[in-house]
Amino acid sequence: TRTTRVENLSDLLQNCDALSIHCLLSAETRRMVDAAALALLPSHAVVVNTARGPVIDEQALYEALRAGRLAAAALDVLQQEPPAGTPLFEAYLRGELPNVLITPHAAWYSQQSVSELRRKAAEEAGRILRGEPSHNPVP
């Protein structure tokens, strides 16, 4: 096992074997993983996005994959949903990207996650009905 101390995102990206994205979509995170960020990843790196599609510049990701600058990508979210007409998605449908896995925004699913989702929704509804503030307000 190799441990590397990093001081910033650039250092992190240069030392990644896998970049797994888990963040909200905001003005700060939109296209956070752009062409410049992808260029810092080693060619053996894998990109995983289960957060929000627009966090990654999808065109830049497509170009990096086509050029062999990345090993693979697993995407549970895309810039445009439902997906249609984007170069990455169309190439995926044609079988031109065997190193890409796209799932229909359902990677979260398991029996355990459904039970937890129901429990948390009931707890949140109870808080609202009691006049308490929501733990997860949606702006």
Give the catalytic positions in this structure. Answer: 52, 81, 105
At 134, the amino acid letter reads S
Cβ–Cβ < 8 Å for 79, 60 = no
**Taking the mean position of all CA atoms in its chain, how far away is CA 35?**
15
Contact status, residue 42 vs residue 12, Cβ threshold 8 Å: no
Phi and psi of 56, rounded to 5°? -105, 140
What's the CA gap between 58 and 112, in Å, rounded?
31
CB atoms within 10 A of CB 22: 10
